[in-house]
């Protein structure tokens, strides 16, 4: 019943959000953001991507054009390629957002073990400040659906399936790498619970063997899971390295519209006859880090400019709520927070079962991201966490 209520509310908010976007787009001029904006053309943009594009992982850009060219192809008589692509974005991201709401509600019921609180958290998620990103042509909805689903599977004990879901989430957004922290936490939680049981029930060599088995399984699970989650990011960075550091193409093979855009914006294009970029000479040549540094101006205190004061004001409410939530959580059980929720006090009962819920990882993740977003990247991203 709660899932139905959440789904209906999410559907209504999606419709209202799309309507509001349409009205505001017609009434207010578009904001000229300093970000990659492909040229408007009805013909396919053939050729290798520009370097600024490679900061966005391929899962979503590969999905929406496919939807526009398959299910929406019968509408080609009434809609252009661009029109079908915009419709695919609206429909696709709306469906993904509804899926993310259901995943978030299921995860909340499992972790919070409170029906009312889980329902409230899901309803609040539907009116998140990041609402516009959930409907626009961004990968937030896809990333949220996969992340919530993966964490739900992880909490249920389906580690391999969870790693696959979280791996696809990393293919959608590079910050999916943060999910490795949850993978490291939950198996550690179960391992510590098992060790406490073996300490109370086993003796001699049997206890030592049990300890070795639990620790070995934990290490192997963590290593294998983290490898799966990080694989899409690593593969895409390797693709970027091969594209720009060891190119096999020339500018003549790139679409003229992209060449024109590259000249105006100062983007680099692959050129087999030109010198390799300086970032290719670094010990760890990550294209993602280079783009963040050069094109997005991400770095320590770089965002601290007078012109960015409105963005700091915009991010302040969410940052304040996050800090207050973490403080309230700590006040509720300081000892549990100090132990990171990994084990109970010796007086607690039921040591054979790990305590339900993520406990500290969620708050710890939120607290660590707060200073990172304020001092190292764009603080406005706080509204999307």
Could you read off the pLDDT of 245-267 as tens digits, one per residue?
Answer: 888 888 777 778 778 877 877 77
Q: How does DSSP classify residue 177?
A: G
pLDDT 10s digits, 83-104: 777 777 888 888 999 999 999 9
pLDDT in the model for residue 85: 77
pLDDT in the model for residue 39: 58
Provide the whole-model pTM: 0.83
Counting as low any pLDDT under 50, the low residues of the chain are 42-54, 347-358
Neighbours of 330 (CB within 10 A): 15
The whole-angstrom separation of Cα 339 and Cα 356 is 15
Instruction: List alpha helices for the chain, DSSP H.
Output: 2-27, 59-69, 81-112, 115-126, 131-135, 140-156, 159-172, 180-201, 204-244, 256-265, 287-294, 309-332, 334-338, 360-375
The whole-angstrom separation of Cα 81 and Cα 85 is 6
Q: Which long-range contacts (CB under 8 A, 24 or more apart) does 112-117 make?
A: 112/357, 113/356, 113/357, 115/2
Nearest in space to 247 (alpha carbons), one of 284, 293, 287, 292: 287
The whole-angstrom separation of Cα 219 and Cα 316 is 39
Q: Give residue limits of the domains in the chain.
A: 1-32+58-155, 297-385
pLDDT in the model for residue 48: 42
The whole-angstrom separation of Cα 370 and Cα 286 is 24
Encoding tokens for residue 305?
Answer: 């400019």
pLDDT in the model for residue 384: 66
Terminal CA-CA length for the chain: 28
Give the Å distances, CA to CA, from 236 to 57, 170, 179.
7, 10, 18
The whole-angstrom separation of Cα 266 and Cα 367 is 36
pLDDT in the model for residue 353: 44
pLDDT 10s digits, 121-155: 899 999 887 777 787 778 888 999 999 999 999 98
Number of residues assigned to the chain: 385
The whole-angstrom separation of Cα 225 and Cα 160 is 7
């Amino acid at each position: 019943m709660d899932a139905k209520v959440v789904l209906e509310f999410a559907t209504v908010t999606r419709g209202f959000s799309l309507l509001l976007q349409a009205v505001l787009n017609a009434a207010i001029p578009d904001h000229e953001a300093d970000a990659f904006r492909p040229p408007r053309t009805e013909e396919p943009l053939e050729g290798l991507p520009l370097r600024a594009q490679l900061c966005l992982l391929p899962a979503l850009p590969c999905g929406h054009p496919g939807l526009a060219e398959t299910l929406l192809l019968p509408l080609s008589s009434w809609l252009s390629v661009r029109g079908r692509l915009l419709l695919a974005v609206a429909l696709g991201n709306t469906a993904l957002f509804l899926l993310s709401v259901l995943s978030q509600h299921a995860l909340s019921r499992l972790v919070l073990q409170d029906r009312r609180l889980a329902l409230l958290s899901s309803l609040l998620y539907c009116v998140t400040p990041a609402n516009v990103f959930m409907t626009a042509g961004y990968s937030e909805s896809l990333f949220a659906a996969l992340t919530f689903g993966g964490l739900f599977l992880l909490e249920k004990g389906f580690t391999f399936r969870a790693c696959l879901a979280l791996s696809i989430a990393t293919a959608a957004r590079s910050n999916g790498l943060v999910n490795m922290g949850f993978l490291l936490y939950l198996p550690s939680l179960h391992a510590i619970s098992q060790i406490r049981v073996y300490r109370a029930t086993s003796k001699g060599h049997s206890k030592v063997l049990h300890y070795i088995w639990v620790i070995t399984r934990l290490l192997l699970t963590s290593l294998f899971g983290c490898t799966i989650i990080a694989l899409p990011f690593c593969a895409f960075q390797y693709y970027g390295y091969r594209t720009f550091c060891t190119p096999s193409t020339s500018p003549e093979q790139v679409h003229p519209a992209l060449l024109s855009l590259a000249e105006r914006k100062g983007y680099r294009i692959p050129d087999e006859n030109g010198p390799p970029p300086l970032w290719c000479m670094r010990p760890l040549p990550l294209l993602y880090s280079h783009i963040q540094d050069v094109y997005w101006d991400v770095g320590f205190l770089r965002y601290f400019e007078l012109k960015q004061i409105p963005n700091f004001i915009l991010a302040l409410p969410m940052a304040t709520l996050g800090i207050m939530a973490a403080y309230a959580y700590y006040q509720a059980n300081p000892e549990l927070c100090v132990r990171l929720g990994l084990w109970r006090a010796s007086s607690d009962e039921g040591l054979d079962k790990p305590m339900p819920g993520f406990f500290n990882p969620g708050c710890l993740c939120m607290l660590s991201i707060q200073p990172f977003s304020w001092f190292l990247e764009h603080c406005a991203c706080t509204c999307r966490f």
